[in-house]
Structure 1
Amino acid sequence: MSAVSPSRTGARVERQPLSRYTTLGVGGPAEVWFAGDHAQLAEAMEAPYRILGGGSNLVISDQGVPERVIRLVGPLAERDLDPDPLLSTDDEIVTGWVGGGVPLPGLVRTLQKSGLSNLEGTVGIPAQVGGAVWMNAGTRYGEMFDGLHTIEIVTPQGTRQVSPDELQWGYRNSGIPRGHVVSRVRLKLRRSTPQAVLEKMDAADQARKGQPKMKTPGCAFKNPGGVSAGKLIDEAGLKGTRIGDAMIAPEHANFIVNLGGATAADVHALLDVIRARVGIPMELEYELWPEQL
Structure 2
Amino acid sequence: MTAVPVPVSRTGARVERLPLARFTTLGVGGEAEVWFVSTLEQLREAVEAPYRVLGGGSNLVVSDGGVPERVLRLTGQLAEADLTPDPELSTSDTVVTGWVGGGVPLPGLIRKLQKLGLSNLEGTVGIPAQVGGAVWMNAGTRYGEMFDGLHTLEIVTPGSVRHLTPDDLNWGYRQSDLPRGHVVSRVRLKLRHSTSEAVLAKMDFADLARKGQPKMKTPGCAFKNPGGVSAGKLIDEAGLKGARVGGAMIAPEHANFIVNLGGASSADVHALLGLIRERVGVPMELEYELWPGEA
Tell me the TM-score normalized by structure 2: 0.98
Give 2:247's aligned residue.
245
Letter in 1 for 2:138: N
Give 1:210's aligned residue.
212
Give 1:58's aligned residue.
60
| CA contact 1:215–1:257 (8 Å) conserved in 2 | yes
Q: 2:174 aligned with 1:172, yes or no? A: yes
Letter in 1 for 2:245: I
Displacement after TM superposition at 1:2 (Å): 7.8
Give 2:88's aligned residue.
86
Q: 2:185 aligned with 1:183, yes or no? A: yes
Letter in 1 for 2:260: N
Worse-superposed segment, 4-13 or 20-29? 4-13
**RMSD over aligned Cα, in angstroms?**
1.1
* Aligned with residue 51 of structure 2, among 33, 49, 52: 49
Letter in 2 for 1:246: A
Q: 2:83 aligned with 1:69, yes or no? A: no
| CA contact 1:19–1:28 (8 Å) conserved in 2 | yes
Give 2:28's aligned residue.
26
**Helix, strand or coil for the counterpart of 1:188?**
strand
Displacement after TM superposition at 1:92 (Å): 1.1
| CA contact 1:3–1:14 (8 Å) conserved in 2 | no
| Superimposed CA distance per residue, residues 31-87 of structure 1 (whole angstroms, 9 cap, x where no aligned partner) | 000111111011111111001000000000000000000110000000100000111
* Aligned with residue 118 of structure 2, among 100, 116, 119: 116
Displacement after TM superposition at 1:179 (Å): 3.0
| CA contact 1:2–1:14 (8 Å) conserved in 2 | no
| CA contact 2:44–2:159 (8 Å) conserved in 1 | no
Give 2:97's aligned residue.
95
How many aligned positions are there?
293
Q: 2:283 aligned with 1:281, yes or no? A: yes
Give 1:261's aligned residue.
263
CA distance in 2, matches of 1:80, 1:144: 17
| Superimposed CA distance per residue, residues 127-186 of structure 1 (whole angstroms, 9 cap, x where no aligned partner) | 000000000000000000000000001123311000000001000000013332100000
Displacement after TM superposition at 1:91 (Å): 1.6
CA distance in 2, matches of 1:82, 1:260: 43
- Percent identity between matched residues is 79
Q: 2:153 aligned with 1:151, yes or no? A: yes
CA distance in 1, matches of 2:4, 2:15: 9
**Helix, strand or coil for the counterpart of 1:83?**
coil
**Helix, strand or coil for the counterpart of 1:269?**
helix
CA distance in 1, matches of 2:157, 2:197: 40
Displacement after TM superposition at 1:5 (Å): 3.4
Displacement after TM superposition at 1:22 (Å): 0.3
| CA contact 1:212–1:252 (8 Å) conserved in 2 | yes
| CA contact 2:220–2:258 (8 Å) conserved in 1 | yes
Q: 2:271 aligned with 1:272, yes or no? A: no
Give 2:228's aligned residue.
226
CA distance in 2, matches of 1:124, 1:179: 28
Give 1:141's aligned residue.
143
Letter in 2 for 1:152: E
CA distance in 2, matches of 1:181, 1:197: 30
| CA contact 1:116–1:197 (8 Å) conserved in 2 | yes
**Helix, strand or coil for the counterpart of 2:104?**
coil
Displacement after TM superposition at 1:4 (Å): 2.7
| CA contact 2:13–2:42 (8 Å) conserved in 1 | yes
CA distance in 2, matches of 1:241, 1:179: 37
Displacement after TM superposition at 1:6 (Å): 2.2
**Helix, strand or coil for the counterpart of 2:152?**
strand
| CA contact 1:246–1:259 (8 Å) conserved in 2 | yes
**Helix, strand or coil for the counterpart of 2:135?**
helix
CA distance in 1, matches of 2:289, 2:223: 10
Runs of at least 5 residues in structure 1 that lack an aligned partner in the other structure? none
CA distance in 2, matches of 1:157, 1:119: 32
